[in-house]
Structure 1
């Protein structure tokens, strides 16, 4: 079971009920969803958060709350969760940060720490990340993380590239 992951500047830890307001606000913020075909409404963010807590309860890992070392504010989330892609069981890598945390390179540091953990602890399950082709910053993050293009298709209402490690 994942307890926490520390990087030079960040701590990734299991989601907790106390994180709900911050995480739902980040997930439903129009700025963080500017490239999504549909902006999730707060009730959708609540349902997502519930599903992420359930994943933690079942598997002992999942999307993590991310904060600065020594800090208490949730800056965003990063981590993996199981999903089916085609007929394969994969770990979906995801990350999202509040706009106030943009520009700090947390979007590389936190996912990299999550991938490093996965490759040590769950090496038999491939890691996949899906990125909207219009999301140039995320495409650069994927490249920095060492993922390679796997496939491109319309996915959840937008043309997306799927990458694997």
Structure 2
């Protein structure tokens, strides 16, 4: 799906409908979310399975890339908050990716340690996958997880993914799941 805006002053974030679950709000990221996203992605606890974790500059560049993906495609990684809350507690969403010559949607999820153990990754991931089914049905969804990251492996499996292949990805042996 490609969204065309008739009003040049509008942004793709204005077109995308926020996703609400029982306990979460998933919305397009805004520039004001940059620091929260950098904090989440540079926290050593969220990177314990990442062989080369991003520093502040790299995490900020990642966030810039996410905003660019939104501008080009009209969807992407979403900021996750609790309804009525202002603190970004995580990120979950999909963005396009080339995987072995095939265009796929890459499911990503990462939460602040204070949000761990509450089932938020599965809840947010389920909502994003439902969105994919309705809005991007022709593209397969992949999730790539470091094989040592048991909590994230469990999330992928609880989301209904099945193992597709294992290979080195971003410097670590990773299991690629497909849905």
- 3-state SS, counterpart of residue 46 of structure 2: helix
3-state SS, counterpart of residue 32 of structure 1: coil
Residue ranges of structure 2 left out of the alignment (5+ in a row): 1-14
CA distance in 1, matches of 2:138, 2:76: 16
Equivalent residue number for residue 107 of structure 2: 93
- Distance in 1 of aligned mates of 2:135 and 2:47: 31
* 1:3 Cα deviation after fit: 2.2
Whole-Å separation in 1 of the counterparts to 2:85 and 2:17: 17
1:142 — aligned with what? 156
When the two structures are superposed, what TM-score results if normalisation uses the length of structure 2?
0.91
Q: Does 1:13 align with 2:27?
A: yes
> 2:50 matched to which residue of 1?
36
**Partner of residue 80 from structure 1, selected from 82, 86, 94:** 94
For residues 176 and 146 of structure 2, the distance between their equivalents in structure 1, rounded to whole angstroms, comes to 9
Higher Cα radius of gyration: 2
Unaligned 5+ segments in structure 1 are none
If each structure's strand is expressed as a fraction of its own residues, which one has the higher value? 1
Q: How many residues align?
A: 165
Which residue number corresponds to residue 56 of structure 1?
A: 70
Q: Give 1:117's aligned residue.
A: 131
TM-score w.r.t. the length of structure 1 is 0.98
Indicate the RMSD between aligned Cα atoms, in angstroms: 0.7
CA distance in 1, matches of 2:103, 2:55: 29
Kindly report structure 1 stretches of 4+ aligned residues shifted beyond 6 Å.
none
